[in-house]
Structure 1
Amino acid sequence: MQPTVACVVPCYNEEAAIAKVVRDLRASLPEALIYVYDNNSTDNTVAEAQKAGAIVRHEPRKGKGNVIRRAFADVEADALLIIDGDDTYDASRAREMVDLLFEGPYDQVVGARREVVETAYRAGHAVGNKMLTGAVRSLFGNDVSDMLSGYRVFSRRYIKSFPALSHEFETETEMTVHALSLRLPTAEMEVDFKDRPAGSVSKLRTYRDGWRILKLILGLTRRQRPSLFHSVIAGLLALVSLVLGIPVVADFIRTGDVPRFPTAILAASIMIIAMLVLMVGYILESFMHMRQEQARLAHLRYPAPSRSADSVQELMRDAAGRDA
């Protein structure tokens, strides 16, 4: 029995490109089921996808994150590939990416974008991508060079352990941080990245979506690294307390009096708050470790990706027999 492969293509008004994406995926992965998830398109995206032979499903809640959450819940496959429906990624590399996932075995293979034309990135997107990727690398780990790539392949155990809480284009950031936090085996493969075809319009809004991604990074830092997050806040509060309190202490040493009682009380209060914030960070760190353990156990319920599904089932039966 061969492992199952599925492709998920999120789409919103991509009638100019979706048919070619589906045909390219079919040529590269003839055994795969290709799902086009329509996200309230107002053009002929659905008709073009059906004409090209894709299975069309609908997600009425707007946003790529909502599509990914729905697809990850609905589609069952040993390897699941996602790719944008705008024909900017080289879909002919799909076979190589799926093969790499099984050969690793890896839980995630990311198509790191290689710009083949100077206009592939919109103005500011390349710089923003590097800045946001750099922030994630600094906070969570260095195993990523293109955090915002929408061309990826996942194992079943990745999909079933991924909460998919994002709503819009920040979903790729959430995917990356999930893999880094659980230290899931991940590989990257360079893929060509080109202009959209004529008639296709980008749905990204540079500043709005960049701000949403930055807010998500801050939120993930607060949840995934609470001791670091709260230590920074506690440090800033302690600095304010010292700035206010040192002159009061200096006056007391010099004169033996405390002429500015309100300032002294304020400085002491801020320092107490700083200590409380620091303690909260360490307490939340313990809860975070418990959440990571639960996610890790959910991940381990499923076998590693393998070309030989029969051998995986045999290993699972053997393990069940030993436990009994």
Structure 2
Amino acid sequence: MTTPNEGGCSAIDLSFIIPCLDESLGLKSVLEDCHTGGQLSGLRYEIIVADNGSTDGSQLIAQQLQARVIPVALRGYGAALRAGIQASMGAFIMMGDGDGTYCFREAPRFLQKLQQGDDLVIGNRFQGSIAKGAMPFLHRYLGNPVLSGLGRMFFGIRIGDFHCGLRAFRKEAIEQLGLSCPGMEFASEMVIKASLKQLRIAEVPTSLRPDHPHRRPHLRTWRDGWRHLRFMLSFSPKYAFLALAITLLTVSLGAVISYATDLKPFTGPNTLMIASFAFMTALVLTSDYITTRILFEQLYVYRGSSRLGRFFKWLGTYAGTNRLFQLSGLLVLASAGVLLPFATNGAISISSKPSNLLIFTSSSLAMLGLFCYLTGAKLSTFMAISASKNS
């Protein structure tokens, strides 16, 4: 029997969740498609409209079409969907916008993937069809391709349409991800955390239709694009920290070589100041990368370099940080030792190139020592907090 939820019936297999903020122009057709998709799926289903404070009568339309309205005080696409997921009763959930751009009649294709063992199924509009005027030029040829490409590069996710809003998933699998983003970046958060938790992700071709010509769009191209990118970087320490650290180390090394070999125009002592600044910044970024990576390895399955992992293990970052503190002390002593013989006989001159290179070497060793100390201190704090939470 394929009927919508009636009278709070608990035997629900499928929940449709529609985030809603003043969607009266397209909501009727969306809910009708949900009923059709639910009936075609052969499952008992319910429809939940997670309302974000509509003032255009969207709630009444939803009730008239047998949908359950969940009021959500916290504004935002992600906030509405999280509330809908929490209130849902189905083992399977299908989500999509309330503006009529997605077709919920395609539900059986998504559900077939879930029934075959996938945890998250995402629509791919580029493999399906995009009606004329359904996607703005910037979104179609810049925003979506760039962000989807970065998602594949950062996280190794084989998804062609990273931000398609028509999705189906197992409720039990998604609930373990701890989704928290209130805004549009919720779409990225779901995919990224599902990948880090090694859930099975699949995609199916889907269609995209134009929304109502008089509807006011909720998506803000540059603001929401930046929020997606910011979230991606926050979950990718390799690209947020390590890539820039390597670049700055290269700049530092190049500046030192230029100064030492009289390569014009980088021949003055200011070149060593640039090298020192780049080296110091690279060490700060590397320290942040190490501590962030260790944190991710505690929470998720981190797909980083195995060689770096072995190096971190040698440093003792997984079981303690004594080796980092020991290295810090040795490096500081080495820094002082480089200068000591010259300082005692007054041989150091700020106008001498060998002396300047010697000072740079000494300060670099001191910075490395500080790097080891700060990294060890941060990891010690993190481990102490983790231990107290687990006790």
Please say if residues 15 and 48 of structure 1, whose CA atoms lie closer than 8 Å, have aligned partners that are also in contact.
Answer: yes
Question: Pick from 197, 206, 214: which aligns with 2:212?
Answer: 197
Instruction: Find the aligned partners of 2:261 and 2:301 in 1 and give their Cα distance.
Output: 49
Query: 1:78·1:156 contact (CA, 8 Å) conserved in 2?
Result: yes
Q: Which residue of the other structure, out of 160, 174, 191, is the alignment partner of 2:189?
A: 174
Query: In 2, are the aligned partners of 1:25 and 1:92 still within 8 Å (CA)?
Result: yes
Q: Distance in 2 between matches of 1:72 and 1:194?
A: 25
Matched, 1:28 2:37: yes
Measure how far apart 1:244 and its partner are: 3.3
1:278-297 to 2 correspondences below 5 Å: 278-292=286-300
Which amino acid counterpart does residue 140 of structure 2 have in structure 1? A
Question: What amino acid is the match of 2:37?
Answer: S
Q: How far apart in 2 are the matches of 1:16 and 1:134?
A: 33
Matched to 1:245, the amino acid is V
**The one of 8, 14, 27 aligned to 1:5:** 14
Q: Take 1:6 and 1:275, find their aligned partners in 2: how far apart are those partners? A: 49
Alignment RMSD (CA, Å): 2.5
Task: State the distance in 1 between where 2:196 and 2:102 align.
Answer: 27
| Alpha-carbon distance, 1:213 to partner | 1.6
Instruction: Kindly indicate whether residue 256 of structure 2 is the aligned counterpart of residue 245 of structure 1.
Output: yes
Relative to structure 1, is the Cα distance of residues 125 and 272 closer, same or farther in structure 2, using a 3 angstrom cutoff? closer
Runs of 4+ displaced beyond 3 Å? 259-266
**What is the Cα deviation at residue 119 of structure 1?**
1.0
Report deviation, 1:249: 2.5
Which deviations, in whole Å up to 9, do the C-alpha atoms of 1:119-149 show, x marking residues without a partner? 1112311121111101111111142011111
Whole-Å separation in 1 of the counterparts to 2:72 and 2:290: 40
The percentage of counterpart residues that share the same residue type is 26
TM-score, with length taken from structure 2: 0.66
Deviation at 1:198, TM superposition (A): 4.6
* Greater RCO (Cα-Cα under 8 Å, separation 6 or more): 1
Within a 5 Å distance, the mapping from 1:15-164 to structure 2 comes to: 15-30=24-39, 31-102=44-115, 104-113=116-125, 114-127=128-141, 128-164=143-179
Distance 1:265 1:193 in 2: 55
Q: Deviations over 1:217-273 (max 9, x none)?
A: 22222xxxx24432212112213322432233236xxxxxxx966654663464254
Among 13, 20, 23, the alignment partner of 1:14 is 23
Report how far residue 44 of structure 1 moved.
1.3
Q: 1:197 to 1:271 in 2, by over 3 A?
A: closer
- Partners of 1:264 and 1:191 lie apart in 2 by 57
Whether the 8 Å contact between 2:15 and 2:47 is mirrored in structure 1 is yes
SS at match of 1:73: helix
**Cα deviation code 1:259-310 (max 9, x no counterpart):** 966654663464254245324423432221111169xxxxxxxxxxxxxxxx
Partner of 1:288, secondary structure, is: helix
Q: Distance in 2 between matches of 1:248 and 1:111?
A: 55
Residues matched between the structures, number: 283
Alignment partners' CA distance in 1, 2:106 and 2:273: 65
Query: Does the CA-based 8 Å contact 1:68-1:164 persist in structure 2?
Result: no
- Deviation track 1:45-92 (CA, whole Å, cap 9, x = no partner) reads 111111111000111221101112222333242111101111111111
Mark the structure with the bigger radius of gyration.
2
CA distance in 2, matches of 1:199, 1:10: 19
Q: Which amino acid aligns with 1:34?
A: I
Give the distance between the partners of 1:293 and 1:246, measured in 2 at CA: 40
Q: Secondary structure at the match of 2:137?
A: coil
Return closer, same or farther for 1:247/1:197 CA change in 2, 3 Å cut-off. closer
